[in-house]
Structure formats: C-alpha cells, structure tokens
C-alpha cells in the first residue's frame, strides 16, 4: 500500500521542519518522517536526569532570523525568548572575568577595552557579506540561468559594497587564521582566547588553523550574540513543529527511513524501517548529505565522481556535551550574580586553546578542554526542581572515535577533565553535582544519525562552502539526484539553528514548481 504525497521530508530537525512548513504554506501536501520519538533532532531539550532538563546539543541561538520567527509564527506557537543577547564572560583561574558585551557594559583590561568595540564593529561589517551569502542560495556556476547570474552579480556587489579597504581586508582574512588576527588587535591573553574560542567552536580547527576567521565571521554574521529560549532549544523545535502542523504538515515520529527509492534516475519515494513505502513528487532530506546519498540513496544510483565527492566530505565532530544537575549554585564570578546568567567561556589563552586542539588530531581528547558554559535554570527555573540547577557545557576537543573506542574509563577520564577545568574556573561547582550526562561525538553520531557527529553536517571550511557545499556540482540543494533535495546544515549555508538551509531548499522546490 503506497501513499501518494507531494513532498516527503526525512528528518524533523529544525531545517526539515522549516522546509516542510514553507512548502505546506505554499499548498504542498507534506509529510515529515522522523526516526526518533520526538522532533527536533539536535535541536532538542532532554531530561538527562530525573527532573533535570537541558538543551541536548546546541544551547544558544546565534542565527535564527527574527523574520523566520515572525513568518512561521513561532511566538504564537509557544516560543518564548528574550531577544537581548547574552554577554560572553571569559573565566580564567585567579583573575578577573572579562566581559564581552554588545553594548557599553564590557569590562576588558587595558587597551583591549577600547579595541573590542572597534574590532567587533569591523568584524560585523565584514560578516555582513557572509550574512548576504547565507540569506541566499548559492548561485550556480557555468550556467546561463538569469537568476543564477543575478545571484552571482549580487554577491559581487555585496562584496564590493564593503568598500575598497574592507573588501581587501575580507579577502586577506578569509583564508587566514584567527590566532594572527587576534594578536593584531588584542593584548590580553584571556581576551584573545575567548574570541578565538568563538572561531573554533563546533569545528575541527584550532585557532592557528587556516579558515578559522571564516568560521568566526559565520558565527558572528548576525551579531554573534547568543540567545537562550525558555525551555531550551527544544522549545524552538516544538514551535517549529506546531507551526508546520498548523500549515498542514503531517509530522510522523518513530518513522525511520531505511531507503530513498530511486526509479529511472529519480528519487520517487522512501521505504521506512517497518517496510512500508511512501511516494512523493519531491523527496527532501534533512539527513546529512553523505548519509543521504551514500546510505539512503546508495552510491550505485549516482555517478562515480559525485559519490566520491560525497564520500570525501570532511565531517569529524570535536564538540562534546556535558550536562550537570546541581543541588545548589556555585559562587558567581567576582561575586557578581549577573555574570553567572551569561554565556561563560573557559578557553585560556590562544596557546592553551591550540594545545587543547592538538590531541584530537591524533584521536585523543583534550586533557584540558575548552568550555562554553551556561546555567539556564537562572533564567528558566522550570528546567530543574526548585532550588536546583542545571549546568550546560559544550566541551572541546573530543575525537569522534579514539583508538580503542569510547570505553567507560575513557569517558570517565574525559568527564574528569571537563569537571576539573570547570571547577578551576567556577570554584566549588563540583561539590554540587548530583547527576551528569556526557555526549561525545560518537554518541551524537549514533543518537542523531549524523556522519561524524559533526554539528554542521560537514566541516565549515572554504572547500566546503557556498558553491562547494556539500560538494562541487551538488551545491544547489537539488543537484545530486533528480527528485531529491538536501535541506540539512550540510547544504549551504551550514550550521547553527538558523533554518536557512530549510528555507532555501523549499524555495528551490517551489521555484522549480513554477517553471514546470
């Protein structure tokens, strides 16, 4: 028995939900198939210990445009968040915290106090070009299509609009490394380390790696200020799912897809894990590109060169997540309670950050990991029992699969390393811990079905960016196989909870629809 639909979206991650909603609003009959019991994929809130909840993976929004929030009516569908971005507070043992703010409340030492606003403005100016790119699908090269030519011209214009000096600076920096950049602008090692951390977070890069300015601009393209929704990131997914359902999308959980079915060179439907099949005009995959093409479709249904390019996508996650349940609060930095509510960063100086990166190249975890920390219960007490708290940590660097695997003893050793680093920065926190949960990249891969456990579904780098994301000749969402559209972070413009890829994928389908 085969059900006939307009669109099947595989995976109810945030991009899949955005894509589904957009298509349903345009009148398409859409079903979203999610393997797991709940929607959201990595954008989810989990109960990691009885009574304690936190965002499982991403813990901040950097990149969700208000236009998307408005268009999808996410607020009316239950999303609550303070749109004012949090400050970033860099912590280091035995020294005052450095506070980075988007307004005048920064407290940075010496010359860096005045360097920071200028640097931030300069970077945001340059990042404006990245934002221009993110907002649009990548134009196709070697084509005479008018829209593609206009897109390319628009891109050139956006670059030119930076002005001669900024354009030169952009072109100088885009392949450069954040280490050199920060040494040009700042004096204080802790200040440098905290900004450098923003560049390498969620990547397989150290601050000295080429391309780490691109990742910084990518993160900062909408200002770089993190926002935490009430209820954790899962609240975003719930609102997206509600919005999609309101648009008529049928969201089916516990409906894992085993295969994308291909007939006569075209994706025509899917076979679910229970053996049932569904057919549709368009198959959209929110699964990472490599898994979509090589596992769900199968290399045999695509050309050899293309299969090889998908096989070679670089996607080795390095970010681990640790969630802690606390029976009380640690001491606030400098006794300032306000600071504990912000985004806390423990990265040391740039050399320490680079040293934290070194082991992962050889399949080992950092003995002194860099941490991004928040205490979400301070603004959202419902995440834990009364008087108790949750600490949410992203820790780098952890290898995908160390030699010998993530054994219990290796996990314990890495958890100890995280806890020790944390306790040195926030003295006294360790004795409040009543429960903890650690997710290493290997866990992210198996839990969310993401190749390499990589947040961005593929390293964000110049060779996997724009025209070549996910792969060359496969960048426009619909090029890999007729009838198949890619809508995950593995497609342009990459990761963060932004919904861009989902929007662009939906637009690509609708555009084709109006042509034919």
Partner 1 sequence: MSTLGIDLRIRHTPFHPRTREANLLNRWHSWQGFTVADAYFDADLEYFAVRNATGVFDLSPMTKYRISGPEALAYLDRLLTRDVTKLKPGRVAYAVWCDDAGKVIDDGTLFHLDDGTYRLCSQEYHLEWLQAAALGFDVLVQDETDSIAALAIQGPTSCAVLGAFGFANLPSLKPFGLRDDQVEGWNVTVSRTGFTGDLGYELWIDPEDALAIWDRLFDAGRPYGIKPMGGDALQMARIEAGFIQAGCDFLPADRLVRPGRARSPFELGLGWLVDFNKPHFSGRAALALENDVGSRWELVRLLVDGNKPARDAYLYGSARAPIGFVTSAMWSPVAKQNIALGTIERGKRRGSLKAEIFYQRELHWSRVLADCQTVEGPFFDPPRRRTTPALLR
Q: Which of residues 155-194 bind partner 1 (CB under 8 A)?
A: none
The span from the CA of 31 to the CA of 278, in Å, is 10
Q: At what angle do helices 350-361 and 178-185 cross, to 10 degrees?
A: 170
The single-letter DSSP state of residue 367 is: S
Listed ranges 106-114, 295-303, 382-390, 502-510: which one lies at the site for partner 1 (CB under 8 A): 295-303
The CB-of-285 to partner 1 minimum distance in angstroms stands at 17
The residue from 39, 56, 249, 307 that contacts partner 1 (CB under 8 A) is 307
Q: Which is nearer to partner 1, 290 or 410 (CB)?
A: 290
Q: How many residues does the chain have?
A: 516
315 touching partner 1, by CB under 8 A: no
- Count residues contacting partner 1 (CB under 8 A)? 17
Instruction: Assess 145 for contact with partner 1 (CB under 8 A).
Output: no
User: Shortest Cβ distance from residue 486 to partner 1 (Å)?
Assistant: 17
User: Could you tell me the sign of the dihedral formed by the alpha carbons of 281, 286, 287, 292, in that order?
Assistant: positive
Strand segments, DSSP code E, in 37-123 are 45-49, 52-55, 88-90, 98-100
Q: Give 270's DSSP letter.
A: E
* Segment interacting with partner 1 (CB under 8 A) among 16-24, 73-81, 302-310, 507-515: 302-310
Helix segments in 368-499, DSSP class H:
408-425, 441-448
Of these, 294, 332, 430, 433, which contacts partner 1 (CB under 8 A)? 294
Binding test (CB under 8 A) with partner 1, winner from 37, 304, 335, 409? 304
Q: How far is the CB of 473 from partner 1 (least distance, A)?
A: 8
Closer to partner 1 by Cβ: residue 41 or 458: 458
Closer Cβ to partner 1, 157 or 482, answer by number: 482
Runs of H (alpha helix) within 247-321 = 289-290, 304-311
Which uninterrupted H or E stretch holds 115? helix 112-134
Binding segment for partner 1 (CB under 8 A), chosen from 25-33, 42-50, 297-305, 351-359, is 297-305
3-state DSSP helix/strand/coil % of the chain, to nearest 5: 40, 20, 40
The torsion angles phi and psi of 298, rounded to 5 degrees, stand at: 100, 130
Q: Is 302 in the site for partner 1 (CB under 8 A)?
A: yes
42 DSSP 8-state letter: T
Site track for partner 1 across 471-490, x = CB under 8 A: --x--------x--------
Rounded Cα gap, residues 279 and 451, in angstroms: 26
Q: Is 428 in the site for partner 1 (CB under 8 A)?
A: no
Q: Which of 8, 150, 17 is nearest to 502 (CA)?
A: 17
Q: Which residue has the tokens 């802690």?
A: 324
- State yes or no: residue 110 binds partner 1 (CB under 8 A): no
> Rounded to whole angstroms, how far apart are CA atoms 139 and 143?
9
The binder of partner 1 chosen from 4, 122, 160, 308 (CB under 8 A): 308
First and final C-alpha spacing in the chain: 29
**Tokens at residue 75, please?**
């607020």
CA 83/CA 343 separation, integer angstroms:
14
Give the shortest CB-311-to-partner 1 separation in angstroms: 5
Q: Hey, which residues between 246 and 265 contact partner 1 (CB under 8 A)?
A: 262, 265
For partner 1, which residue of 27, 163, 305, 428 counts as binding (CB under 8 A)?
305
User: Between residues 82 and 303, which has the closer beta carbon with respect to partner 1?
Assistant: 303
Give the range of 103-111, 186-194, 304-312, 390-398 binding partner 1 by CB under 8 A. 304-312
Strands 30-33 and 250-252: parallel
Give 101 or 451: the residue with its C-beta nearer to partner 1: 451
Q: With respect to partner 1, which residue has the nearer C-beta, 306 or 487?
A: 306
Report, in Å, the least distance between residue 260 CB and partner 1: 13
- Confirm if 68 and 321 have CB atoms less than 8 A apart: no
- Select 474 or 499, whichever has its Cβ closest to partner 1: 474
Taking CB under 8 A as the criterion, the residue among 82, 145, 303, 463 binding partner 1 is 303
Give the residue with the Cβ less far from partner 1, 14 or 301: 301
Residue 264: which residues within 8 A CB-CB, separation 6 or more?
none
Which residues contribute to the site for partner 1 (CB under 8 A)? Answer: 262, 265, 294, 298-308, 311, 473, 482
């Amino acid at each position: 028995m085969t059900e006939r639909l307009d669109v099947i979206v595989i995976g109810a991650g945030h991009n899949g939900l955005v894509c589904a909603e957009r298509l349903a609003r345009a009148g398409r009959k859409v079903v979203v198939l999610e393997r797991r019991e709940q929607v959201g994929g990595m954008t989810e809130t989990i109960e990691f210990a009885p009574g304690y909840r936190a965002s499982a993976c991403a813990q901040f929004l950097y990149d969700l445009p208000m236009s998307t929030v408005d268009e999808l009516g996410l607020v009316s569908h239950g999303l609550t968040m303070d749109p004012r971005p949090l400050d970033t507070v860099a912590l280091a043992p035995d020294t005052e915290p450095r506070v980075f703010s988007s307004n005048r409340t920064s407290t940075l030492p010496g010359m860096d106090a005045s360097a920071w606003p200028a640097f931030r403005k300069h970077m945001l100016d340059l990042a404006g070009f990245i934002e221009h790119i993110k907002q649009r699908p990548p134009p196709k090269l070697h084509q005479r299509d008018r829209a593609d030519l206009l897109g390319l011209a628009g891109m050139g214009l956006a670059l030119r609009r930076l002005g001669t000096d900024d354009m030169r600076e952009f072109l100088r920096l885009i392949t450069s490394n954040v280490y050199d950049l920060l040494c040009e602008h700042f004096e204080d090692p802790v200040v440098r380390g905290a900004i450098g951390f923003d560049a390498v977070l969620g990547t397989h890069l150290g601050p000295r790696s080429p391309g780490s300015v691109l990742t910084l601009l990518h993160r900062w393209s909408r200002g770089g200020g993190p926002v935490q929704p009430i209820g954790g990131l899962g609240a975003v997914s719930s609102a997206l799912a509600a919005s999609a359902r309101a648009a008529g999308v049928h969201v089916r959980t516990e409906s894992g897809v085993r295969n994308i079915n291909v007939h006569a060179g075209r994706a025509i439907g899917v076979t679910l894990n229970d053996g049932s099949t569904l057919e549709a005009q368009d198959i959209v995959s929110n699964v990472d590109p490599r898994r979509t093409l090589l596992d769900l479709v199968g290399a045999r249904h695509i050309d050899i060169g293309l299969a090889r390019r998908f096989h070679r996508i670089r996607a080795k996650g390095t970010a681990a997540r640790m969630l802690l349940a606390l029976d009380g609060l640690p001491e606030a930095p400098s006794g300032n309670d306000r600071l504990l509510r912000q985004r806390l960063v423990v990265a040391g100086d740039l050399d320490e950050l680079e040293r934290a990166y070194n082991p992962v190249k050889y399949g080992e975890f950092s003995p002194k990991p860099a941490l991004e920390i928040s205490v979400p219960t301070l603004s959202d007490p419902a995440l834990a029992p009364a008087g108790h708290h949750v600490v949410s940590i992203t820790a780098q660097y952890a290898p995908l699969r160390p030699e010998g695997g993530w054994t219990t003893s290796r996990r314990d050793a890495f958890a100890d390393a995280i806890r020790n680093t944390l306790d040195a920065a926030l003295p006294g926190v360790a004795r409040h811990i009543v429960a903890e949960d650690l997710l290493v990249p290997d866990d992210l891969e198996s839990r969310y079905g993401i190749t390499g456990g990589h947040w961005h579904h593929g390293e964000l780098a110049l060779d996997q960016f724009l025209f070549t994301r996910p792969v060359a000749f496969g960048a426009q969402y619909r090029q890999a196989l007729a009838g198949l559209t890619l809508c995950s972070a593995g497609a342009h413009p990459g990761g963060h909870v932004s919904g861009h890829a989902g929007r662009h994928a939906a637009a690509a389908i609708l555009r084709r629809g109006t042509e034919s």
